Structure 1
């Protein structure tokens, strides 16, 4: 196996069940970096056993954590994966062939396609989970993550390259995991809105719920994925409504922020 001057970067917190598969799916990366925010399971030991350097960084929020991780990479070109993501063999082969030319160019980044597995099988019709286009490969001097606590994005100028073969996302091993993630992401998003003093507009919440469900279930073709499609559309609509209700509570009862943080921390969800 020949290595390419590429850093695979993964941010983790209690990802012992996923991290080995993620790291092993990129065998050609000369540097594998895991930035861990205080795992209490065996994430760190497994990552090290699978060839990764591990750096500890207390949780900063998704965007700032990714930007910190970029500074710790050994190479300028960086591939970012979440611990529950992994390259398909087809994409790994495409990257091995295409990376040398990309690295020699002045392009800032490359678009990849993500395919999501839900309830043990790939989604086949729901558009955000079938070939979702994401910027995950970039030169760290030409791109930067936004500073959002959650739903961060990679920003860059200029035309990016694109690879068509997918990487895989094993989305939440159960609906329990999904609902816990909804709680965590809602809290982070509401805190971002607090920082920006966004208007509350609670009256919009029922309309947001309805429009979100119809957008995902009908326009994004979730209905073609059967009951799994219904479940994902309902979950997305519930998230859209809940984060607005939580923001309303934060503005009307600021003491709830500390109480919620303590409760989430008790269950390992403060990260």
Structure 2
């Protein structure tokens, strides 16, 4: 039986360092769509070299930009990747089997993280991300910073599949990102009216560290796994600390909430 045709969707901004490896790993797909937001490096040239359909649109937020790229695609089955994500060898075959008469609205793919000078150990726990889906039954949500695909229907994890996030090559990059991301989430958490901020700020970071380092077996990654667990716990702390700060600013005349423009 023939499988469903596939469109690979990638949004970009100055991703010349990683885009080539990303697109090489998916050059078997029927279509590659690259939506750029004004790159000044060789990103667009690399995309065109791989035969991608290329368009440019100003970036307003991650979710809307991804949805624009999805809407540009010709085919209904979408593989949604970031420009620094690379399918591992063997994942193509797993995806192609899943797309033969699929009964699910989408499929999660386990992701291995780059941990500074190494890549996450295969025996440590990998988080599954909904990246392969039928766009007729799925779309991006509106969560700031961490927008993701939500599906209207059953979703299955392809445990034999794998892809690697090639970001965070050093600790400084990781710290800069978590500072930016934690600020970006404040408005979303304020709208949700998330409660028990102080309790979460005190209790969740150490629990997060223990879950990552022990239960998810990040200790298999040596010092890189330890540092990744600590910075992850710091990210959790910053999210709730900045939310606490924003609430104080809202309740104090003349002060502006964190993350405001």
**TM surpasses 0.5:** yes
Does the 8 A contact of 2:11 with 2:36 survive in 1? yes
Which has the larger share of helix? Answer: 1
Partner of 2:14: 14
Does the 8 A contact of 1:200 with 1:244 survive in 2? no
Query: Structure 1 residues 200 and 54, CA, compared in 2 at 3 Å: closer, same or farther?
Result: farther
Q: Determine whether 1:143 maps to 2:138.
A: yes
More displaced stretch, 184-193 vs 52-61: 52-61
Q: SS where residue 235 of structure 2 aligns?
A: helix
Partner of 1:75: 75
| 1:120 shift after superposition | 3.6
Q: Determine whether 1:220 maps to 2:185.
A: no
TM-score (norm 1): 0.82
Give the RMSD, CA atoms, in angstroms: 2.4
Q: Which of 188, 192, 196 is the aligned partner of 2:188? A: 192
Partner of 1:257: 259
Alignment length (residue pairs): 252
Equivalent-residue separation in structure 1 for 2:99 and 2:207 (angstroms): 44
Deviations 1:146-188 (A, max 9, x none): 2111223322243335431312222311112111111221121
| 1:106 shift after superposition | 4.3
Partner of 1:23: 23
Query: Structure 1 residues 29 and 250, CA, compared in 2 at 3 Å: closer, same or farther?
Result: same
| 1:20 shift after superposition | 1.0
Partner of 2:201: 205
Query: Structure 1 residues 118 and 204, CA, compared in 2 at 3 Å: closer, same or farther?
Result: closer
TM-score (norm 2): 0.85
Query: Structure 1 residues 23 and 86, CA, compared in 2 at 3 Å: closer, same or farther?
Result: same
Does the 8 A contact of 1:10 with 1:81 survive in 2? yes
Q: Which of 171, 177, 183 is the aligned partner of 1:175? A: 171
Query: Structure 1 residues 256 and 107, CA, compared in 2 at 3 Å: closer, same or farther?
Result: closer
| 1:222 shift after superposition | 2.1
Partner of 2:252: none
Does the 8 A contact of 1:9 with 1:69 survive in 2? yes
Q: SS where residue 222 of structure 2 aligns?
A: helix
Matches within 5 A, 1:90-101: 90-96=90-96, 98=97, 100-101=99-100
